[in-house]
Amino acid sequence: MFGFSRSSRPAVGRISPKEAVARHGKGELTVIDVRDISEVRASGTASGGIHVPLMRLAMVADPRHPDHLPQLDPARPVALFCAAGGRSQMGCEILAKLGYAEVYNIGGFGDWCAGGGKVAR
């Protein structure tokens, strides 16, 4: 009735790995790997993506923060992955709270690879 349960934040959605790979390949989507550096060293990461450990995401994604990464733009669609999908979901929520308009969870690194995503080591 009063809309108290409605959120003004954008919804965080899932994106199929194939769609994420295709959109990333066309330059339409920024891909962020939120795993720890030890995980990235062991397996590589998405080619052309950005590695930002989940613990640093709120700082580097916030345009007001001095450590903001300029390639992270709240107006540009972003998709995150981690090892299995849990941390990337938390990262999606962080970005939504920061005002990112279009935020997706790919799931895990294995999903990225299964969708045909290239890997950089």
Residue 70 CB partners (closer than 8 Å, separation 6+):
none
Q: Domains, the chain, ranges and CATH?
A: 14-120 (3.40.250.10)
Q: What is residue 107's predicted lDDT score, i.e. its pLDDT?
A: 98
Give me the sign of the Cα torsion angle 88, 107, 77, 39. Answer: positive
pTM listed for this prediction: 0.91
Is the confidence at residue 6, as pLDDT, over 60?
no
Q: Count of H helices and E strands in the chain?
A: 5, 7
Tokens of 77: 């669609």
DSSP label of 63: T
- pLDDT tens-place string over residues 26-83: 999 999 999 999 999 999 999 999 999 999 999 999 999 999 999 999 999 999 999 9
Is the confidence at residue 95, as pLDDT, over 60?
yes
